[in-house]
Amino acid sequence: MVLENVKITNLMQFKIQPIKNDASFRKFYRINLNKNSKIIVFAEKEKYKNLIVYCTINNFLRNNKILAPKLFEHNYTKSVIIIEDFGDLTFNKILSVKKDKLIIYKKLVDLLLKIQKIRPKEKLRTISSQLYVINKYSMKYLHQESDLFLNWYLPMVLNQKKVFSIKLRIKKSLSKLYKKLNFPNTCFVHRDYHVLNLMKVGRKIGVIDSQDAIIGNPTYDLVSLIDDVRIKTSQKLKNQIYMYYLKKAPRIYKVKSEKFLEDFNVLSVQRSLKIIGIFSRLFKRDKKNKYLKMIPYAWKLLEMRMRSETFSELKEILDKNISKKIRKKIIY
C-alpha cells in the first residue's frame, strides 16, 4: 500500500483522496487535515527525476519568485514526498469556459517572460544535498526526443521494411533543421509549459510538473504553450499569443524576429514529433490508449509548421510515406 510509506503524526482525523494521475509513473493523493490539504506524491519508477529533481527545480523556481509547490516532507528511500496542494483549477479548465481566451493567454505569457528572466544555474543543490546538473538542450537531447516518433510511432503505422527505409532519412533531415537553430541554449526552459501544468492558486499562477526543466532555446516554452496538443486553438489566436509575446519580449527577439520565428517552427515540429512518439509509447508499452485521440491534432500542428520551404525535405519524406488517412487514424 502506497500510503504505508508516509509517516503522519498527531492526526486525529484525515481524508485521503486519490488524484487522477498523468502520463508519468507517479501516483498522487490529496490528504485533507482540518481543512488544510497537502499532496502526497509516490514514485517507484524514475524516482530520482520524479522526486529529487522535481523538488530541486521547484525550490529553484520558488527562490526566483515563481510559485511552485513547496516541499513539506520527503522520504526518498520510501519513494514518497509531501508537497503543497495547488487545488484542481488548471488553466485548461479556465480556458474551456472563457470566451476571451487571449486575456488568459496573455497572463500565461507574462509569467513565461518572468520565468525566462531567471538566470539559469547549471548546478543546483538537491534536497539530498547532492549537486544536480541541469542539462542543455543539445542536439543529443533534441534527437532523443524526436527519435520517439521514429521508434514508437512509425512501427505502429508502417511495415518493418518501410520503417527501415525512411528512419535514417528522417533523422538526417531533422539534423539539418536542428543545426539551423539561431538562438543559443541560454534560457531556463520548463519543457512542458502548457495549460494543464499551469494552475490558478488564489490570484497567482502556480507552475507544476517542472522535473524535466533544461537550459535551452527561448522559443521552446512558447511552442509548448501555443502549439499545445491538449487544447485546440485557432490560427488567429495562436498568432495573437505569439505577437503578444514578441511585443513584450527582450529587444533581441524583435530585432531578429525572422530568426526567432524560424526557431519557433523548427522546435514546434520537433515537439509534435516527440509528442506523437510519446503517445504511441504510452499506448504500446504502458497500455494507456486515451492519448491516441490527440495524435491527429498533433499531425495538424506538424503540418501547419512545415509549410515553409525550410521543411521541404522532411515534408516530402513524411508525405510520401504516411498518408492523410493514417494521420487521422486513432485506433491502431
Which residues are CB-neighbours of 73 under 8 A, at least 6 positions away?
7, 81, 82
* Residue 120, pLDDT score: 83
The mean pLDDT of the chain is: 92
What CATH number matches the domain at 91-328, 3.40.30.10, 3.30.70.20, 2.40.400.10, 3.90.1200.10?
Answer: 3.90.1200.10
Is residue 148 scored above 80 in pLDDT? yes
| pLDDT tier for residue 159 given thresholds of 50, 70 and 90 | very high
Is residue 284 scored above 50 in pLDDT? yes
Domain residue ranges of the chain, discontinuous segments joined by +? 2-84, 91-328
Q: How does pLDDT run across 66-96, given as a tens digit for each residue? A: 999 999 998 888 889 999 999 999 999 999 9
* Residue 5, pLDDT score: 52
Sign of CA dihedral 182, 186, 302, 92: negative
* Residue 174, pLDDT score: 98
Place of cell 537531447: 141
Burial class from Cβ neighbours inside 10 Å (0-12, 13-18, 19+) for residue 130 reads exposed
**Average pLDDT score over residue span 213-241:** 97
Is residue 10 scored above 80 in pLDDT? no
Query: Phi, psi at residue 31, to the nearest 5°?
Result: -115, 120
For the full predicted model, state whether its pTM sits above 0.75.
yes
* Residue 229, pLDDT score: 96
Closest CA to 183 of 227, 229, 219: 219
Is residue 1 scored above 60 in pLDDT? no
* Residue 132, pLDDT score: 92
**Average pLDDT score over residue span 160-174:** 96
CB atoms inside a 10 Å sphere around CB 245 = 26
What CATH number matches the domain at 2-84, 3.90.25.10, 3.30.200.20, 3.90.550.10, 3.40.50.2020?
Answer: 3.30.200.20
